[in-house]
Amino acid sequence: MDFQVSARKWRPQKFSELIGQEHIVRTLSNAIEMDRVSHAFLFSGTRGVGKTTTARILARVLNCEKGPTIDPCGTCSLCREITEGNCIDVQEIDGASNNKVEEARVLINKVQYATSSARYKIYIIDEVHMLSKPAFNALLKTLEEPPPRVIFIFATTELNKIPDTILSRCQCFEFKPLSNAQITKQLELICGQEEIQI
């Protein structure tokens, strides 16, 4: 059996496994069940509260071959590809290292193409607050007039650095820090599953 880092092994794979973000899970689940999914989301909160994890789950929820469903199967080819980071239609981009206007324009050009195999083309931009002002401006027109079946999910730890013009075009969610009790409960569960004495 291959070794897997605990943070990856125990990362939530479904909405039902997310801890402390019930308000977000409820809103996203309702949107999916009512087929009213936004073209752009902005997830904000401190490090380690589940922003990127939720973005990945949302990508699976929307593209699962058995869905869209709030409970993705995790076994179909698209669920597996998204989990492994190999889905051509779900791109994760680090905003800190891809923050120039030229890189934003390359992304905008890619957005115009149809999906390869997934239902939705999804762009997850982590640390989006690191984009330059010209890069934000380049993205603005695409957010104003999004192509069909394209969804942007932005994640940030610094909401105050996101221009209002971008914020106004996104469905915004603020992730809450976990309480000590929630962290303790999850650690006890993991230790029990891993047969670790505490």
Residue-wise pLDDT for 115-168, tens only, equals: 888 999 999 999 999 999 999 999 998 999 988 999 999 999 999 999 999 999
Q: What is the pTM of this model?
A: 0.90
pLDDT at 41: 97
What is the rounded distance in angstroms from the CA atom of residue 65 to the CA atom of residue 69? 9
Give the residue extent of every domain in the chain: 12-194
* Type and span of the H or E element at 52: helix 51-63
pLDDT score, position 6: 72
**In the numeric block, which tokens belong to residue 113?**
């193409």
**What dihedral angle (degrees, nearest 10) is formed by the CA atoms of 126, 45, 28, 22?**
140
pLDDT at position 198 is 74
| Residue 114 pLDDT class (50, 70, 90 cuts) | confident
2 pLDDT above the threshold of 70: no
Q: Which fold has domain 12-194?
A: Rossmann fold (3.40.50)
Mean pLDDT of 3-21: 82
Residue 78 has pLDDT above 60, yes or no: yes
Task: Give me the chain's average pLDDT, please.
Answer: 90
Length of the chain: 198
Q: In this predicted model, which residue has the larger pLDDT, 169 or 102?
A: 169
Would you state the pLDDT for residue 23? 94
Categorize the per-residue pLDDT at 43 as very low, low, confident or very high, splitting at 50, 70 and 90.
very high
Q: For a pLDDT cut of 90, what percent of the chain falls above it?
A: 58
pLDDT at residue number 194:
77
Task: Note the pLDDT of residue 69.
Answer: 84
pLDDT in the model for residue 62: 95
Rounded mean pLDDT of 89-117? 86
Residues 147, 143, 176, 19, Cα dihedral to 10°: 10
- Could you tell me which residues come within 8 angstroms of residue 105 by beta carbon, excluding any fewer than 6 positions away? 138
- pLDDT at site 1: 52
Residues in CB range of 88: below 8 A, 6 or more apart: 116, 117
176-188 CB burial, b ≥16 within 10 A, e <16: eebeeeeeeebee
Q: Using CA atoms of 143, 148, 153, 154 in order, give the dihedral in degrees to the nearest 10.
A: -20
Give the whole-angstrom CA distance, residue 112 versus residue 121: 10
Q: What is the pLDDT of residue 185?
A: 87
